[in-house]
Structure formats: C-alpha cells, structure tokens
Amino acid sequence: MGADAAVAAVFEPVRTATTFEETVDRLGTAIRLGILAPGSRLPSERDLAEQLAISRSTLRQAITALVESGHLTSVRGRTGGTFVVPEPPLAEGSAGPLPEGWHEVLDVRIAVEVGIAAVAAERIDDDALAIMGEAVERMDAATEFGEYRRADVRFHIAIAQATGVSRLVALATEVQAEVTELIAHIAHPPQVLRHSNADHRRLIDALARRDAARATRVLRRHLDGTEHILSGLMPGGPLPE
C-alpha cells in the first residue's frame, strides 16, 4: 500500500457502534505509524466528519481526546487547524508496547463480564445499584486517573457481586487486575474517561430495568471501546488483529 493509499484508508468512513473509540483508534494508530506525518494538518472538521461519516460532535470528542493525550494540537487563527504534534508522546504509564497476548485478556474480559451482566440483570437489587451509582459519581469527581480507576474497578466488581455468585466475583476481580496492567501502557485523556463513564450510566439504567439484552449490549460496546482506545493510544508494538 502506497503512502497516499494508506492516508486514504485512515479517512474511510467509520462504520461501527463505537464511533468515538474507533475514531480515536484510527487516528491514533495512523499518527503512531507515521501515516499521518508529524506536523501534518488534518482536514477541516466539516470535511473530516464527512469523510469518516460521523457526526461533527463525535469527531470533536475524538480530536479533544487526542489533543489531551498529546497526539494532536489545535492552533487558532486564519492559518490554524488541527495538527499532528512533532513527536507524539509515550504513554504516561508503563513505557513500551502492550504485552503479547493483550487481545486474549480482552477476549476473556468480554466472555466473563458480558455473562456476568446477563445474570446480574436478573438478580440486581437496590444496594448493588447504589454502589454502582456511587462509583459513577466518584469517577465524575476524580481529578487523577488513579482515583478514577479505583472507582471503575469498584463499579465492575459490583456487577459481579450482584449475581450472588462468589466465583464470578473472583473471576471479575482477576480480569480487572489484568486490565489494569494493560491500561497502564496508555495515556488517559479526560474526554475518553467522560465517554466511558457515560457508558457506565447507561449500564446502570439497563440493569435497573432488568433488561439483560440491553445491559449486555451496552457492556459489550463499552468493552469494544476499551480495545479501540488501547489500539489507538498505545505507544508502540503489535497492531490490532
């Protein structure tokens, strides 16, 4: 694939349920690989939204996330625009690429947590919903990623606890520990965290309604989003399969 064809592929329409995360993934990966060269200017917001076939609101959120993570910079004025930074940063967590087999960790997470959500939707009570709601509020108020992540873990384990099955709680705890190791390799833009927490609110609503189908759908989309963010913001290493 020539350079022009590679750039064209970056700007093909985004066709997925996770348009925000997919857009961060697409642009972040292109910047990391040098397909979008350091210092290069992105198309205008209107043109880029049309090329990607996404809303301008979603595009703004994705660009904000990539500005917050240090991959892009916005310049005001007549000669301004959105530019790739000269040297995209490494992640603020563990240096180096994601470990081999990281996709397997996320696959196990999908199998475990989506199954847990289906059971929890049948058994959840007000106490569990209150714990989840409190965790969401803590994530909203967090000023450091460590605070956010602790509340995030509490949220997901609370879903497992709502099943009343101790082995599922143990599995959820193990999965969260492995995911924590993975996300230490990437930056944590506030825009990404806000978007993720909005998913948490939707999941609470689905569980409160005991709507297992919707709960599993929301959670699966949430987990797919995590994979896109990891792919787009990791500092190097293997591409998504």
Question: What kind and span of H or E run contains 208?
Answer: helix 190-208
Residue whose entry in the numeric block shows the structure tokens 């049948």: 122
Q: What is the pLDDT of residues 165-176, one digit of tens each?
A: 999 999 999 999
Q: In the prediction, which pLDDT does 89 show?
A: 64
What is the 3-class SS of 102-169, one letter each residue? Answer: HHHHHHHHHHHHHHHHHHHHHHCCHHHHHHHHHHHHHHHHCCCHHHHHHHHHHHHHHHHHHHCCHHHH
What confidence score (pLDDT) does residue 13 get? 86
- Report the alpha-carbon distance of residue 192 to residue 71 in Å, rounded: 14
Mean pLDDT of the chain: 88
User: What CATH superfamily is the domain 102-233?
Assistant: GntR ligand-binding domain-like (1.20.120.530)
pLDDT surpassing 70 at residue 153: yes
CB within 8 Å of 161: residues ≥ 6 apart: 128, 131, 169
| Confidence label for 200 from pLDDT (cuts 50, 70 and 90) | very high
Q: Where in the chain is the domain with CATH 1.10.10.10?
A: 3-84
80-89 per-position pLDDT tens digit: 899 999 887 6
Q: Please write the tens of the pLDDT for every residue from 2-41.
A: 456 667 777 888 877 789 999 998 898 788 767 788 899 9
Q: Which residue has the tokens 């143990």?
A: 170
Dihedral, CA atoms, 219, 188, 20, 89, nearest 10 degrees? -140
Average pLDDT over residues 208-214: 98
pTM over 0.85: no
Residues of the chain by 3-state class (helix, strand, coil), percent to 5: 65, 5, 30
Averaged pLDDT for residues 50-56? 93
Topology classification of domain 3-84: Arc Repressor Mutant, subunit A (1.10.10)
Band (1; pLDDT cuts 50, 70, 90): very low
CB neighbours of residue 235 within 10 Å: 19
Which residues belong to CATH 1.20.120.530 in the chain? 102-233
Cα(172)–Cα(156) distance, integer angstroms: 8
